[in-house]
């Protein structure tokens, strides 16, 4: 069983090594505990997504922040969080030393994941509403066309690696997810996503044949 605070702390510790960073690590663990206590006390409806949610399903990369799907109106009930950036779909804030990225339910896909692709995962701190494998795949595939347009190939490679790991480990039915994405992306973007999924499926099949798996 994983501890959310330790995941974020370890990512921060890996990046920085100094007396100040050691202080920040302790602050981050305290901030994580405080965040989830606030969400529970204020009865905020949320779903954990991003790298920490991914680690409940596959071994993944370190992550220095927490990603939550949440209603924009809920942020009004969390004045302790300093919101630094915000648009219609996303917000970014800080609670002490902890960075939090919010996916806002004004976006229909984010709201869909919150309503239909969430389950409860047990962390050391507490049980947390967390995106399912299918929910994480929807979010990562949805993001890819935008990342390609931005030329953000560092994140493209990370996201495609996450998608491949989930597909290989859980073998989810991809066609229903692609059909759902068709309701939220333009036709060219959906076609690009379908091509990416087909390429990943091809790699998985080649791996199975070469290793004698399946």
117 and 175 housed in the same domain: no
**Residue 7: DSSP 8-state:** H
Inter-CA distances, 117 with 44, 114, 124, 163, Å: 18, 6, 22, 16
Q: What is the reported pLDDT for 123?
A: 77
Inter-CA distances, 178 with 25, 30, 192, 196, Å: 40, 39, 11, 11
**111 near 105, Cβ under 8 Å?**
yes
Token representation of residue 116: 């239909």
Instruction: Give how far the C-alpha of residue 142 lies from the chain's centroid of Cα atoms, to the nearest Å.
Output: 12
Q: State the SS3 of 128-168.
A: EEEECHHHHHHHHHHHHHHHHHHCCHHHHHHHHHHHHHHHH
125 and 154 housed in the same domain: no
Last residue of a domain, one of 131, 153, 172: 131
Of 15-29, 68-82, 99-113, give the lowest mean pLDDT range.
15-29
Total domains in the fold of the chain: 2
CATH number at residue 50: 3.30.460
Give the Cα separation of 49 and 142 in Å (integer): 14
Last residue of a domain, one of 107, 131, 155: 131
Rounded to an integer, the average pLDDT of 161-176 is: 96
Host domain of residue 161: 135-211
Last residue of a domain, one of 81, 107, 131: 131
Site of tokens 């002490």:
96
Rounded to an integer, the average pLDDT of 57-86 is: 91
Q: Is the pLDDT of residue 178 over 80?
A: yes
3-state secondary structure at position 84: strand
pLDDT, tens digit, for every residue of 6-59? 767 666 554 544 444 444 677 888 888 899 999 999 999 999 999 889 988 998
Token representation of residue 161: 């690696």
Q: What is the reported pLDDT for 14?
A: 44
Q: Is the pLDDT of residue 1 over 70?
A: no
Rounded to an integer, the average pLDDT of 141-163 is: 96
Site of tokens 């920490």:
52
Strand pairing of 65-70 and 82-86? unpaired
**Residue 41: DSSP 8-state:** H
86 and 160 housed in the same domain: no
90 and 146 housed in the same domain: no
Return mean pLDDT, the chain: 89
First to last CA, the chain: 29
Q: pLDDT above 90 covers what percent of the chain?
A: 71
57 and 149 housed in the same domain: no
103 and 144 housed in the same domain: no
Q: What is the reported pLDDT for 29?
A: 82
**Other C-beta atoms lying within 10 Å of the C-beta of residue 9:** 23
Rounded to an integer, the average pLDDT of 162-191 is: 97
């Amino acid at each position: 069983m994983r501890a959310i605070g330790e995941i974020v702390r370890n990512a921060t510790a890996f990046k920085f090594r100094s007396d100040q960073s050691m202080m920040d690590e302790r602050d981050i663990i305290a901030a994580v505990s405080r965040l989830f206590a606030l969400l529970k006390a204020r009865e905020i409806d949320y779903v954990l997504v991003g790298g920490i949610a991914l680690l409940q399903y596959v071994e993944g990369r370190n992550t220095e922040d927490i990603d939550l799907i949440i209603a924009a109106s809920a942020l009004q009930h969390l004045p302790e969080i300093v919101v630094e950036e915000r648009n219609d779909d996303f917000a970014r804030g800080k609670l002490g030393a902890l960075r939090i990225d919010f996916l806002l339910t004004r976006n229909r896909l984010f709201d869909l994941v919150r309503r239909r692709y969430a389950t409860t995962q047990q962390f050391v701190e507490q049980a947390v509403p967390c995106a399912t494998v299918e929910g994480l795949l929807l979010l990562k595939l949805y993001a890819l066309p935008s990342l390609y347009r931005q030329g953000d190939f560092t994140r493209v490679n990370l996201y495609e690696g996450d998608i491949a790991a989930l597909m290989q480990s859980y073998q989810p039915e991809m066609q229903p997810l692609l059909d759902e994405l068709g309701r939220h992306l333009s036709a060219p973007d959906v076609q690009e996503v379908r091509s990416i999924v087909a390429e990943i499926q091809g790699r998985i099949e080649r791996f199975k044949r070469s290793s004698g798996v399946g």
